[in-house]
Amino acid sequence: MYTQFFGMREKPFSLIPDGDSIYFSPGHLAAFSMLEFGLLEQVGITLITGEVGAGKTTLIRHLLSRIDYDQLTVGLIGTAHSSYGTLLKWIVNAFAIDTESQDEGAMLQALQAFLIEQYGNGKRTVVIVDEAQNMSSEDLESLRLLTNINADKNQLLQIILVGQPELLEKFHETGMSQLAQRVSAEYNLVPLDVFETMSYVRYRIDSVGGSEDLFDTAACLAVYYFSGGIPRIINTLCDGALVFAYGQHKEAVTLDIVLDVVRTKRIGGIHRAGIDLPDRETVRANIKEISGVDLLELV
């Protein structure tokens, strides 16, 4: 709707994870390096955690776009919630393995045969589980047993787990010490800081041909304040701000436009610090506290 008005090829702040337009903050770069390490090296379990909307799924999609599928066989599980079956069933389905029975023993035999076949063809097999915090304790125990499938001192199934911070808590539960010992690489993805948020906003706009000054500095600082540096919330807030600016025939997004957007939001994680109807003075004081920048010097 507003893309032509602002001279952009497409919307810069889509909520759909896009591996092609990923912004690599230092934290995202470190997390991606850990994912690559888990994918390319002979390691047991790689664990990536982060808050909802931190960019974990985007990292996975970027990783999948760079894989050499001549050397790797990769299965992706979008969620492994026990309500929809066991982890073993999810893995068998992820690799499209034909099984004559849904019996756990039969599925395990079929999976082992598949892994041995891939190994014999000179390929390594990796399963990536997104939203892995939904896994039950029983599924995590199954995971430990699957890491024991080896051949000629090579691990036949490498595992990458990606999930929210509560996934870490599962590894501290009673009886999970053996599984925790099999985690060879891990990284916790934290939100963007104020400067990374400003760079993120400008990067996303520049990537679709928009002006880097489309959001002024005060607006970017407000975006950080209300999003907490979570990329998905940044996208929601910035997309709304562009809609408002377009509706008002404004060529740039200002602090007032961002505040107008926030006032309309009641869900989506945008409200922070108990603020329902933020005023400029409240925002100014809090932004100065977290960034050292006084909005009065900018607007």
What's the pLDDT tens digit per position in 194-214? 889 999 999 999 999 999 899
Q: What is the CATH number of the domain that holds 68?
A: 3.40.50.300
Mean pLDDT estimate for the chain: 85
Residue 252, pLDDT above cutoff 90: yes
Find, among 37, 55, 14, 294, the residue nearest to 196 by Cα.
Answer: 55
Residues 6+ away with beta carbon under 8 Å from 22:
28, 55, 58, 59, 62
pLDDT value, residue 274: 45
pLDDT value, residue 155: 79
Residue 246, pLDDT above cutoff 80: yes
Residue 266, pLDDT above cutoff 80: no
Six token digits for residue 109: 């035999």
Cα separation of 70 and 235, whole Å?
A: 35
Residue 58, pLDDT above cutoff 70: yes
pLDDT value, residue 299: 45
Pairing of the two strands 154-155 and 150-151 = antiparallel
Quote the number of domains for the chain: 2
Share of the chain above pLDDT 90, in %: 42
Residues 6+ away with beta carbon under 8 Å from 205:
8, 12, 211, 212, 214, 215
Whether 199 and 184 map to the same domain: the answer is: no
Whether 104 and 199 map to the same domain: the answer is: no
* Domain containing residue 199: 192-297
Cα separation of 271 and 180, whole Å?
A: 36
Cα separation of 73 and 67, whole Å?
A: 9
pLDDT value, residue 267: 62
Confidence class for position 151, pLDDT limits 50, 70, 90: low
Whether 124 and 64 map to the same domain: the answer is: yes
Confidence class for position 145, pLDDT limits 50, 70, 90: confident
Whether 200 and 71 map to the same domain: the answer is: no
Whether 78 and 171 map to the same domain: the answer is: yes
Whether 48 and 121 map to the same domain: the answer is: yes
Residue 295, pLDDT above cutoff 60: no
Mean pLDDT throughout 134-147? 83
- Residue 150 sits at φ, ψ, to 5 deg, of -130, 165
Q: Are 240 and 196 in contact (CB under 8 A)?
A: no
Six token digits for residue 181: 């010992």
pLDDT value, residue 172: 85
Confidence class for position 148, pLDDT limits 50, 70, 90: confident
Residue that wins the pLDDT comparison between 165 and 153: 165
Q: Is residue 13 part of a domain?
A: no
> How many CA atoms lie less than 13 Å away from 224 in the CB half-sphere?
26
Q: Is residue 4 part of a domain?
A: no
Specify the 3-state DSSP secondary structure of 3.
coil
Whether 174 and 213 map to the same domain: the answer is: no
Q: Is residue 46 part of a domain?
A: yes
Q: Domain ends where: 172, 189, 206?
A: 189
Q: Domain ends where: 189, 223, 256?
A: 189
Whether 38 and 95 map to the same domain: the answer is: yes
Confidence class for position 230, pLDDT limits 50, 70, 90: very high
Q: Is residue 259 part of a domain?
A: yes
pLDDT value, residue 86: 81
Mean pLDDT throughout 131-157? 81
Whether 157 and 208 map to the same domain: the answer is: no
Q: Could you give the residue ranges of the DSSP H alpha helices within 177-228? A: 177-180, 194-206, 217-227
Whether 289 and 208 map to the same domain: the answer is: yes
Whether 217 and 263 map to the same domain: the answer is: yes
Q: Are 237 and 269 in contact (CB under 8 A)?
A: no
User: How many other CB atoms sit within 10 Å of the CB of residue 120?
Assistant: 9
Q: Domain ends where: 189, 206, 229?
A: 189
Whole-prediction pTM: 0.85
Residue that wins the pLDDT comparison between 85 and 238: 238
pLDDT value, residue 275: 47
Strands of the sheet containing 45-50, edge to edge, are 72-77, 124-129, 157-163, 45-50, 183-189
Q: What is the largest CA-CA distance in the chain?
A: 70
Q: Is residue 248 part of a domain?
A: yes
Residue 79, pLDDT above cutoff 60: yes
Residue 31, pLDDT above cutoff 80: yes
Q: Is residue 50 part of a domain?
A: yes
Q: Is residue 218 part of a domain?
A: yes
Cα separation of 203 and 207, whole Å?
A: 6
Cα separation of 296 and 293, whole Å?
A: 9
Residue 115, pLDDT above cutoff 70: yes
Mean pLDDT throughout 103-115? 89
Residue 82, pLDDT above cutoff 50: yes
Q: Is residue 11 part of a domain?
A: no
Whether 177 and 207 map to the same domain: the answer is: no
